């Protein structure tokens, strides 16, 4: 049994290069883990509790049923003190339910390093960091497939019907092709693409966006299935472009994928403004990433200097816009 504070454990955030939403319905998606995501450490305490920064959200499994922020006045931003806090509490309870009955109580300090609800896989990253911290504090080890399964259970508290891509990427890192129910296929990338990520503003829950696409599929199966087929072709071509280091092709495919996501009503005015600004500043292509309806966009450039110029332009809209791989923290 490890006493005191353990080292921080991390889970990766991710961006989806191609294939979001279609992946929920059985198509592949191409995803890239971010060096940043979430970190957590666990130590022996008198009760099971979790403190999540930067929201200062406190979740306790004994005593108070109502998760609170530090002030206890319900003023925390998302994940808020009520709905998000309650989901966090349920997810934590589930993660701890599979630990031995005679284990010590644990205090978990966790921190998100990517914005929540932005399409960067924050909740999956958090789940992996927290579960790794719990395992380390209890001197337990688990296989990667077991970690993905545990993360997926956590994710279900937040997303309803997640494809599993976030949990797989949060656990494994790297670049990978993901198809629901299949093991992650790592994609060798010799020359990493210069990518920029910018946040367009708060998004509705991923579940709301996934539900919206499911409703469209129910109403007009032929058209939506056709869109998914188009996205699948983009995913496969995107993989080849990535392996070849053909960033021009990668950019074209991103813009094409964005057009198809737009027909699924997943883009917003602000996402379009960001994509346009990135293109005007010299990007080769741009698209939303993740659930859409807000959240983040990504753009790809020819080289790192161009990426820096695009980042500078996008920072006029999002001061935290960043180049993937440059100056990243856990
Ligand atoms: O918004 P995020 O980071 O949870 O990404 C969601 C990706 C979707 O394909 C829209 C949903 C999923 O579960 O794969």
Token look-up 């002030």 returns 71
Q: Which domains does the chain have, with CATH numbers?
A: 9-178 (3.30.230.10), 190-324 (3.30.70.890)
Helices marked H in the chain: 83-97, 122-137, 144-159, 165-172, 206-219, 221-244, 247-263, 269-280, 304-314
Instruction: Please state, in angstroms and as integers, the Cα–Cα distance from residue 253 to each residue in 160, 196, 247, 267, 292, following that order.
Output: 29, 16, 10, 16, 17
| 7 secondary structure, DSSP code | P
Mutate to test the pocket of ligand 1, among 128, 166, 296, 298 (most ligand atoms within 8 A of CB): 166
Which of 11, 12, 20 most suits a substitution to test ligand 1, by most atoms within 8 Å of the C-beta?
A: 20
What secondary structure letter does DSSP report for 76? -
pLDDT in tens, 225-263: 999 999 999 999 999 999 999 999 999 999 999 999 999
Query: What is the model's pLDDT at position 48?
Result: 95
pLDDT at 330 over 50: no
The whole-angstrom distance between residue 216's C-alpha and the CA centroid of its chain comes to 24
Which among 131, 164, 234 is positioned nearest to 14, based on CA atoms? 164
Q: Tens digit of pLDDT for each residue in 88-99?
A: 999 999 999 989
| Residue-wise pLDDT tens digits, 291-328 | 999 999 999 999 999 999 999 999 999 999 999 964 33
Measured CA angle at 323 (ends 37, 310), to 5 deg: 145
Which atom of ligand 1 lies closest to the CA of 123?
4
Mean pLDDT, residues 77-91: 71
Sign of the four-CA dihedral 297, 324, 180, 132: negative
Query: Which has the higher per-residue pLDDT, 174 or 204?
Result: 174
Q: Cα separation of 94 and 99, whole Å? A: 10
Look at residues 254, 234, 259, 238 and name the one whose alpha carbon lies nearest to residue 298.
254
- Ligand 1 lined by 293 (C-beta under 6 Å): no
Owner of token pair 């917003």? 268
The rounded percent of the chain whose pLDDT value lies above 70 is: 90
pLDDT at 309: 98
pTM for this prediction: 0.86
């Amino acid at each position: 049994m490890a006493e005191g504070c353990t080292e921080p454990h991390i889970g990766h955030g991710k961006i989806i290069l191609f294939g979001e939403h279609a992946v929920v319905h059985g198509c592949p998606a191409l995803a890239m883990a971010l060096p940043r995501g979430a970190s957590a450490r666990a130590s022996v305490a008198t009760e099971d509790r979790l403190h999540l920064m930067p929201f200062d959200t406190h979740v306790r499994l004994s005593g108070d049923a109502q998760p609170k922020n530090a002030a206890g006045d319900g003023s925390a931003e998302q994940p808020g003190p009520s709905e998000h806090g309650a989901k966090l509490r349920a997810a934590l309870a589930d993660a701890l339910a599979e630990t031995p009955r005679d284990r010590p109580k644990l205090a978990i300090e966790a921190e998100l390093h990517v914005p929540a609800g932005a399409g960067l896989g924050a909740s999956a990253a958090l789940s992996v960091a927290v579960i790794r911290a719990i395992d380390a504090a209890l001197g337990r080890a688990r296989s990667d497939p077991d970690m993905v399964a545990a993360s997926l259970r956590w994710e279900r508290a937040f997303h309803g019907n997640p494809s599993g891509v976030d949990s797989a990427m949060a656990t494994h890192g790297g670049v990978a092709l993901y198809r629901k129910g299949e093991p992650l296929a790592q994609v060798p990338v010799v020359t990493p693409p210069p990518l920029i990520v910018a946040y367009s503003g708060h998004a509705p829950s991923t579940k709301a966006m996934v539900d919206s696409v499911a409703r469209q599929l129910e109403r007009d199966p032929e058209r939506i299935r056709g869109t998914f087929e188009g996205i699948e072709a983009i995913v496969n071509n995107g993989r080849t472009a990535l392996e070849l280091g053909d960033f021009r092709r990668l950019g074209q495919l991103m813009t094409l994928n964005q057009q198809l996501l737009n027909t699924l009503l997943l883009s917003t005015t602000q996402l379009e403004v960001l994509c346009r600004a990135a293109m005007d500043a010299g990007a080769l292509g741009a698209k939303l990433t993740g659930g859409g309806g807000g959240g983040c966009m990504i753009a790809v450039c020819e080289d790192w200097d161009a990426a820096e110029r695009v980042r500078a332009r996008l920072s006029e809209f999002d001061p935290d816009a960043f180049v993937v791989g440059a100056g990243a923290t856990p």
